Amino acid sequence: GAVVSQHPSRVICKSGTSVKIECRSLDFQATTMFWYRQFPKQSLMLMATSNEGSKATYEQGVEKDKFLINHASLTLSTLTVTSAHPEDSSFYICSAVGGHNRETQYFGPGTRLLVL
Amino acid sequence: AQKITQTQPGMFVQEKEAVTLDCTYDTSDPSYGLFWYKQPSSGEMIFLIYQGSYDQQNATEGRYSLNFQKARKSANLVISASQLGDSAMYFCAMREGRMNYGQNFVFGPGTRLSVLP
């Protein structure tokens, strides 16, 4: 149980395009999902908290118009990187809380984004 | 101030031996949760073990155990009988306050463990 998927696993795009990343909880309902960004050899940095049916809560310094989050259902949250630039290249990873173990965040496998 | 400190950026251990990864935390909230995650080179974050602040016993999950010293605010991870597949980054994390769905974790900087054959 507690499986979280993320799609795509890798994406390469041109500067100026938008990229959508999906995060799905496969076997439980996730009332809350979190989006993180991780630079090489660094820890996870929380970008935003996504609650089903409400607006996401963004961490300080994270542009909400740049990183659009939609938590449309109890099993799906999406992160859209709008007008991507090379500095947005990073590893993006989501997590979900819910199901039988409400204490733990279960993570997706992550998405490596490269903006050319 | 750092909420989660992992003082060992890198650790080496011989296969089949035990290893302890250090984690200290800082919180004034009496209710909190402590977690350890493993991140192999593939990038996925794998949940290993959880300890609640009110838990009387140290948490154990297979070869993983958490040495919880509340007064010292430490939550060290002990891996027994190390295997080559244990080579990875290990992150300690804390959730402050009583559990609800909306609380985020604070992650430590991580420790890279290398298991030697």
- Asked if the model's pLDDT at residue B98 lies above 80, the reply is no
- Nearest-CA distance A78 → chain B (Å): 17
Q: What is the pLDDT of residue B103?
A: 67
The encoded tokens of residue B104 equal 């985020």
Mean pLDDT for B9-36 is 95
Q: What is the pLDDT of residue A108?
A: 95
Convert A19-36 into a string of H (helix), E (strand) and C (coil): EEEEEEECCCCEEEEEEE
Helix (H, G, I), strand (E, B) or coil at A2: coil
Pick B44's closest partner by Cβ from A98, A105, A110.
Answer: A110
Q: What is the pLDDT of residue B24?
A: 97
- Asked if the model's pLDDT at residue B101 lies above 60, the reply is no
- Nearest-CA distance A97 → chain B (Å): 6
Helix (H, G, I), strand (E, B) or coil at A87: helix
B102:A49 CB<8 A: yes
Q: What is the pLDDT of residue B1?
A: 63
- Asked if the model's pLDDT at residue A97 lies above 90, the reply is no
Pick B107's closest partner by Cβ from A2, A43, A110.
Answer: A43
Tell me the per-residue pLDDT of B66-95, one tens digit each, with 9 for 90 and over: 999 999 999 999 999 999 999 999 999 998
- Asked if the model's pLDDT at residue B32 lies above 60, the reply is yes
Q: How far is Cα B58 from Cα B68, in angstroms, rounded to an integer?
A: 6
**Which pLDDT band holds residue A53 (cuts at 50, 70, 90)?**
confident
Q: Which of residues 3-62 of B touch A (CB under 8 A)?
A: 33, 35, 37, 42-47, 50, 52
Task: Name the β-bridge partners of B33.
Answer: B52, B95
**Which pLDDT band holds residue B15 (cuts at 50, 70, 90)?**
very high
Mean pLDDT for A2-12 is 95
Tell me the per-residue pLDDT of A66-83, one tens digit each, with 9 for 90 and over: 999 998 888 999 999 999
Q: What is the pLDDT of residue B96?
A: 83
**Which pLDDT band holds residue A1 (cuts at 50, 70, 90)?**
low
Contacts of A43 in chain B (CB under 8 A): 91, 107-110
The residue with greater pLDDT, B47 or A72, is B47
Q: How far is Cα A55 from Cα B23, in angstroms, rounded to an integer?
A: 34
Pick A105's closest partner by Cβ from B42, B43, B105.
Answer: B105
Contacts of A51 in chain B (CB under 8 A): 101-102
- Nearest-CA distance A41 → chain B (Å): 9
Contacts of B107 in chain A (CB under 8 A): 43-44
Q: What is the pLDDT of residue B100?
A: 58
pLDDT > 90 in chain B, percent: 84
**Which pLDDT band holds residue B117 (cuts at 50, 70, 90)?**
very high
Q: What is the pLDDT of residue B99?
A: 58
Looking at residue A63, its amino acid is E
**Contact present, A46 and A38 (Cβ < 8 Å):** no
